């Protein structure tokens, strides 16, 4: 993950003071990469230990790793507003970068061991990519059920057990219509895997396993709020291929 992705995932876990420290870092990246940990602490009206604690809370092993990540984010090519192909490349690269730093093993174990595996998508595009994912799992010998419709999802959520697994693909992870179903699953301790774009959201907070993907808003003369979701297809394909490797070579 790059520096900004670390922030998106962990920002809400920080204290108000730590969030203010992050605001300063985000607005002074060029300066921050030239500072020592003591110097940054002074800039933040804080201490060396507070800066180190902040770096660890957002997912880095220490200050040096955080500073390197900030430096790398500055080296990324600035994308012109009309360069949609370059934006696509960025989505792909950043999703792969995240995947390369993610430990899939606990989720792979659960997919294999689950008594029943259910897949649910919160939208049209999500559903298309989830169908492909479902088919990939079948080809690897993992039976699964693709749930269609919010009402069916809520009904089925009341019939599962802790031996099952539900994978939910979403954009924001905050779709109001799924909240009752997710709460039902939590109540009876059914494991949940969320697949959403980067950032804190209802679904990822409720999930036992979390996967993320990069996305970007697509300009359109017809609608507002249109997003590219190629990253969702990529992260699901990576998960499917890792599961196939797991079944073929790791057992």
Confidence at residue 81, expressed as pLDDT on a 0 to 100 scale: 57
- Average pLDDT (230-245) is 97
Strands 226-228 and 216-218: antiparallel
Average pLDDT, the chain: 90
Confidence at residue 220, expressed as pLDDT on a 0 to 100 scale: 66
Confidence at residue 164, expressed as pLDDT on a 0 to 100 scale: 98
Confidence at residue 114, expressed as pLDDT on a 0 to 100 scale: 97
CA 240/CA 243 separation, integer angstroms = 5
Q: Does the pLDDT of residue 10 top 90, yes or no? A: no
* Under 8 Å between Cβ of 231 and 214: yes
Band the pLDDT of 78: cuts 50, 70, 90: low
Residues of the chain above pLDDT 90, percent: 66
Confidence at residue 190, expressed as pLDDT on a 0 to 100 scale: 97
* Under 8 Å between Cβ of 28 and 73: no
Number of H helices and number of E strands within the chain? Answer: 13, 7
Q: Give the predicted TM-score (pTM) of the model.
A: 0.76
Q: Which residues of 16-28 are buried (b: 16+ CB within 10 A; e: fewer)?
A: eebeebbeebeee
CA 212/CA 2 separation, integer angstroms = 13
**Among 77-91, 191-205, 226-240, whose mean pLDDT is lowest?**
77-91
Closest by CA to 77, choosing from 69, 68, 86, is 86
Confidence at residue 224, expressed as pLDDT on a 0 to 100 scale: 60
Closest by CA to 28, choosing from 39, 12, 16, is 39
Burial of 228 (0-12, 13-18, 19+ CB in 10 A): middle
SS3 217: strand
Q: Does the pLDDT of residue 126 top 60, yes or no? A: yes
Q: Does the pLDDT of residue 102 top 90, yes or no? A: yes
Q: Does the pLDDT of residue 95 top 80, yes or no? A: yes
Band the pLDDT of 135: cuts 50, 70, 90: very high
pLDDT tens-digit map of 46-77: 899 999 999 999 989 999 999 998 888 887 64
* Under 8 Å between Cβ of 185 and 203: no
pLDDT tens-digit map of 160-213: 999 999 999 999 999 999 999 999 999 999 999 999 998 889 999 999 999 999
Cα torsion 130, 211, 94, 54 to 10°: value is 160
């Amino acid at each position: 993950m790059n520096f900004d992705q670390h922030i998106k995932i962990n920002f809400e876990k920080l204290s108000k003071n730590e969030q203010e420290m992050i605001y300063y870092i985000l607005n002074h990246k060029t300066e921050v990469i030239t500072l020592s940990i003591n110097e940054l602490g002074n800039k933040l009206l804080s201490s060396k230990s507070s800066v180190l604690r902040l770096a660890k809370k957002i997912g880095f092993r220490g200050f040096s790793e955080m500073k390197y990540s900030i430096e790398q984010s500055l080296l990324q090519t600035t994308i012109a507003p009309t360069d949609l192909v370059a934006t696509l490349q960025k989505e792909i690269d950043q999703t792969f970068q995240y995947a390369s730093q993610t430990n899939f093993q606990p989720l792979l174990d659960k997919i294999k061991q689950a008594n029943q595996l259910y897949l649910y998508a919160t939208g049209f595009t999500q559903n298309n990519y989830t169908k492909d994912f479902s088919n990939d799992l079948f080809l690897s010998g993992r039976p699964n059920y693709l749930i269609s419709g919010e009402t069916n999802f809520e009904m089925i959520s009341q019939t599962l057990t802790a031996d099952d697994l539900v994978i939910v693909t979403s954009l924001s992870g905050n779709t109001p219509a799924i909240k009752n179903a997710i709460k039902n699953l939590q109540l009876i301790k059914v494991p949940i895997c969320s697949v959403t774009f980067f950032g804190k959201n209802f679904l990822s907070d409720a999930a036992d396993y979390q996967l993320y993907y990069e996305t970007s808003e697509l300009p359109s003369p017809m609608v507002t709020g249109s997003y590219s979701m190629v990253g969702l297809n990529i992260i699901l394909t990576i998960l499917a291929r890792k599961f196939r490797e797991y079944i073929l070579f790791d057992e």
